[in-house]
Structure formats: C-alpha cells, structure tokens
Amino acid sequence: MDTVTHSEASGGGRPLAAWFEAARQRRLKGIHTPWDFRSSAKRALPRMVFDYIDGGAGSEIAIRMNREAIDSVRLVPSAPRDVSFCDTSVTLFGQELSLPVIIGPTGLASASWPRGEIALAEAAARTGIPYVMPNAASVSPEDVARAGEGRAWFQLYPPPDRELTRKWVARIRDCGFSALEVTIDVAVPGQRLRDAYNGFVMPFRWTPGKFLDVAARPVWAMKMLYHGQPTPYLQVERDGSRATASNQSENRRHRFTRALSWDLLKILRDEWHGPLLVKGLLDPRQAGQALAAGYDGIVISNHGGRQLDGSVSPIEMLPEFRSEVGGRIPLLIDGGFRSGVDVVKAVALGASAVQLGRVGVFALATAGRAGVEHALTLFRAEIETAMALCGVTRLEQLDEHSVRHNWGGPRP
C-alpha cells in the first residue's frame, strides 16, 4: 500500500502522514467485499454527506429495484473447464481496460475526501481503467486529466447556454480527456428527500443540527477545515441562486435545460472528435437515435435511482438495448452494481463494461485513493472467481447461456 500522496494529505508533515496511513491500513483490514465500504463510509462521514451519496429520489423504490433486478439474474456454473488463467481485460474505444469496470461520475466526491476526484482518477489510472470526471467536480479539469494519465473521461450536463457548452467542450478537449460522456436524464433534478430533510447544500449553510452532525465526525471535520469546503468548479450561476436554494437538488435546478434534444446532441458530435457516449438512456427505442446522431457508445442508466423514482432498472433493459444496437456500438451500464459477480452478470447480458457509482465514493470516503484501489482489487478477484466457476477464460465467452432471469416485459 502506498503512503499518503499530495492529493490525499498535501502539506501534512511526516508524523501526520504516518498517522493517516496507519489509520487507513486499520480501516482496510476489515474490508473483504466492495460493498463493505458502505458501512465504513457511514462511520466516517457526517450523516448529511453520507445521505447525499447513499440516497435516491422519492421513496427510493428505484434504488431497491435496481438491486432486486441484479439479484434476480443467476449465473450458470459450467464445469469441467480448464480455467487456469482468466483474462479480465476488455478493449473499449481502442484502449485496453484491465477490468470491464469504469469509475463513473459522482458529483462532489471531494465532500467525502479532500480533492476526491484526483484520488479517484489516480486509482483508476493505476488500475488501468477509466475515471469519468463529473460536471459537478470540485477540482479543475486540468488536474483530473493529469491524474488520469490518458484514461480520464469527462461527463457533461449540457447547460442552457449553448455557447457555454462549446467553451466547456473546447476546454476539456484541450485538457486531454479521452472520451466525453453526455448525461441527458436530468431535464429537472429528481426529488431527493434525504437532502431536503438534511438541508444538504454545497457550500454548507450551517445550522445547529449540522454543527452537531459534523462534530460527531472530527476526522472528517479536520480534513475539510484544512482543505476547505468543496464547491463545484464548473458552474452556471444565477444571481441569488445560492441564497434561495434549500437543498442540493434545488441548487442545481437552474443548471440544466429542459430543451435538450437530439439536435443539441448532434452539435456535440460536431464539437467533439473523440469517443462520444450518451448516458441516461432507458428506452431502447432511443438507441437508434444515438446511432443516427453519431454517438460511439450508450450508458444505460437510471442515474442510480436518483431521478425518477419507480423507474425501470438498467439491467432489465440491457437485453433490449443489445437487440436494438446489434453490436454496432458498446453498451455500458450502471445502477446498483456492488460486486464482481454483478459485473459478470452484466457482461453476460451484453454490457461491455459497468460504471461504478456509490461503491467507489464509499471506498474513497474510507481511505482515499488507497481505498479505491483496494475496492478495485476486490472487484478483480470476484470477477476472476465468477469467470472460473462459469467455465470461461475470456469475457467475450460470457453470453445469454451464462445467465437465467425471470423478468417480465418485452423480450428481444
């Protein structure tokens, strides 16, 4: 395990760095699965920050259904096979990934760990996978691109101002991001009730209850005091927006446009000449539109259950997207994936890779970059084990014969 890096404890002396490293080692010792990081993060973070990461829209039915849909897929073991070596790599947009896994965009990761986006990008680069920098990051795109070492992607919420969109695209192109992921499922922010009840908004608007919440997590409080409160780096501000917003969803409402259409997405295709993905599709009938607009990939997503409560789960829709696309472009997916076994299920159903959301931030909150690297090591071990027990040595050998499920609805 590496020692504390500049991105994790910049400016700290050697005794402080050694203390943080020892604390991280203790926390990681009891982590045996990627989802173990959730409990660890809950102990490390103030409630309002943990709830922002963990929560979803409305009564959070979509979050529960995402998980139930994945659990309902069952793998078919196949033996005897010679599985002396299992290759977990996949090629995506001409670049080899060591795992069929991508660290997806999660806003305000720096509320979990100082300069958290840098730590995520570094961990991804060291593992040999991409990291998608979110539009709501708290550090500069230039810093993330450098940390990503050629593997960093950028997530874009097209803002209402199309000229600003062009400026952002030009900037991230100049930074050296290797792919652009356009998120289209936030015409309006979902109703995130945990944030409303907690009054969670960045920068923090302090109340006595929030002071008590933070005081119960002194290590987190000291890190934030030293590094400062995270604030979205790229913003579209409106006069008085911070003064009137009561929670994070309301604070972000003016930054999205309801006038999002395939015409605007085609403009982005003209502006961006690298791999271009559209994130947030759930209706397979839209796959043809993505192809016609010149997009290179689709991320099937319900925003982790954070937008439309009661929406269908992404993995339920994956076979229909596979039928519509017919292998012409890669399909990525997110929404409730917690383990390497979950990843193998998605690959068998037609995904090229899985984007991780909450689990990556929970690992970050637990131990910074070292936590994320440990989580990815656990994912690798679980993927290799699942592949071996399914009797495959390469990911492309997984297919519909490797799984069984009992979902309702149309079949491709």
- Which positions are catalytic? 303
Residue 234 vs residues 69, 135, 165, 229: alpha-carbon distances, Å: 35, 7, 11, 15
SS3 of 180, please? strand
Structure tokens given for 367: 């131990």
- How far from the centroid of its chain's Cα atoms is residue 95's Cα? 19
User: Which residues make Cβ contacts (< 8 Å) with residue 168, sequence separation at least 6?
Assistant: 156, 159, 234
Distance in angstroms (rounded) separating the CA atoms of residues 20 and 284: 47
Kindly give the residue spans of alpha helices, DSSP state H, lying in 293-395: 314-325, 340-348, 358-389
In terms of Cα–Cα distance, which of 243, 207, 204 is closest to 220?
A: 204
DSSP of 198-246 = HT--SS----HHHHHHHHT-HHHHHHHHHH-----SS----TTHHHH--
Structure tokens given for 342: 């979950």
Distance in angstroms (rounded) separating the CA atoms of residues 25 and 31: 10
β partners of residue 403: 75
Q: Which helix (DSSP H) or strand (DSSP E) does residue 95 occupy?
A: strand 95-97
The radius of gyration computed from the CA coordinates of the chain, to the nearest angstrom, equals 21
How many Cα atoms sit within 13 Å of 215 on the Cβ side? 7
